[in-house]
Amino acid sequence: MTVQARAGTGEVSVGLDVGATLAKIALRRDGETRLEALPSEDPAALVAHVTALSPTRVGLTGGGGAGLAEPLGCEAHLTSEFEAWGVGAVELLADAESAPPEGEHFLLVSLGTGTSILRVEDGKAIRVGGTALGGGAIVGLGAALTGLDYEPLCELAARGDAAAVDLRVSDIYGPDQIPLAGDLTAANFGKLARDFTRGPVAPPDEGERANRAAGVMRLVGENVALICAGLAAATGSKHVVYGGSTIAGNRQLSDVLDEVTTLCGLQACFLPRGGFAGAVGALEIALRGDAAPGEGSSLATS
């Protein structure tokens, strides 16, 4: 990734994207940018962490960003979350596979606790839609159905089969009865619902919990991708770029997003370190006007 930075000064600049669950931090010193994430539920601890870095300037964004400007007690630049995501995504796309061609507008999906969908053109982002389905639904439903929190839920989902809990088209219709592919989902968790209506259901074993976890990922992934497909048609977009902390380490969700986006005739792209797009964008915006032309930086994740 190539970014503009002042090198050799020893100064520290920070981009901070404070979301509902995580605070994403992009820290730059002497041309190197490091990324880290902390829980956002304790603003005082977050302020203490950033203050200990002794930054000369801070770029703030996200729902909790505005409340940190005064406690940080340094030069702070507050920017809208959508603007920060647009700028940060363009920076991170330099390292992405299947990136949209330069100069072509695209949809950018911020899949965090909830999901926002932006149209990005020339680095400028406009929100065109979204859904309440996202990481919050995955964690909440996943815990209710399996008793696991996020990371073990993702690992379990990769071993499961959503078809064991979902009703597919082929479960309802015979061959050639309807002009839809038999392996399409007709009702998320439709088989599980049917099992409950037939009488008491035994506590799930490991295999059943894996299927339920996979079903949660398919529920969220399918619906997010289908909403994106509708917005892509409305905005004339051919590429959908997925980012957000919910995708990190979540292979099952990424596979569903890729599958459904492709079925809809669109090109899916996944941002490297995509959960940090807002933090990287906030950092870049805070540094505008200070960068020396032609200087670059490397990127590392801590």
Mean pLDDT, to the nearest integer, of 116-127? 94
Q: How far, in Å, CA of 101 to CA of 189, rounded?
A: 38
pLDDT tops 70 at residue 2:
no
Residue 60 contacts residue 16 (beta carbons within 8 Å): yes
pLDDT band for position 298 (50/70/90)? very low
Instruction: For residue 21, give both structure tokens.
Output: 């669950």
187 vs 293 pLDDT, higher one: 187
Distances (CA, A) of 264 to 21, 35, 60, 219, 258: 31, 33, 36, 17, 10
What confidence score (pLDDT) does residue 156 get?
97
N-terminal to C-terminal alpha carbon distance within the chain: 16
pLDDT tops 50 at residue 287:
yes
Range with lowest mean pLDDT among 59-73, 137-151, 184-198, 250-264:
59-73
Residues of the chain with CATH 3.30.420.40: 12-96+275-301, 130-270
Range with lowest mean pLDDT among 150-159, 167-176, 273-282, 291-300:
291-300
Q: How far, in Å, CA of 187 to CA of 199, rounded?
A: 20
Residue 292 contacts residue 111 (beta carbons within 8 Å): no
Question: What CATH superfamily classification does 130-270 receive?
Answer: ATPase, nucleotide binding domain (3.30.420.40)
pLDDT tops 80 at residue 300:
no
Mean pLDDT, to the nearest integer, of 191-195? 93
pLDDT band for position 69 (50/70/90)? confident
Distances (CA, A) of 87 to 12, 93, 123, 279: 20, 10, 5, 10
What confidence score (pLDDT) does residue 200 get?
86
What confidence score (pLDDT) does residue 9 get?
59
pLDDT band for position 8 (50/70/90)? very low
Query: Which residues have C-beta within 8 Å of that of residue 130, sequence separation ≥ 6?
Result: 114, 115, 116, 117, 227
Rg (CA), the chain: 21
The CATH classification of domain 12-96+275-301, taken from the options 3.90.230.10, 3.30.420.40, 3.40.50.620, 3.40.50.1100: 3.30.420.40
What confidence score (pLDDT) does residue 193 get?
94
Helix or strand holding residue 216 (H, E): helix 206-235
Instruction: For residue 160, give both structure tokens.
Output: 């499961």
For the chain, counts of helices (H) and of strands (E): 10, 13
Q: Determine the residue type at 69.
A: A
Instruction: For residue 97, give both structure tokens.
Output: 């596979």
What confidence score (pLDDT) does residue 299 get?
52
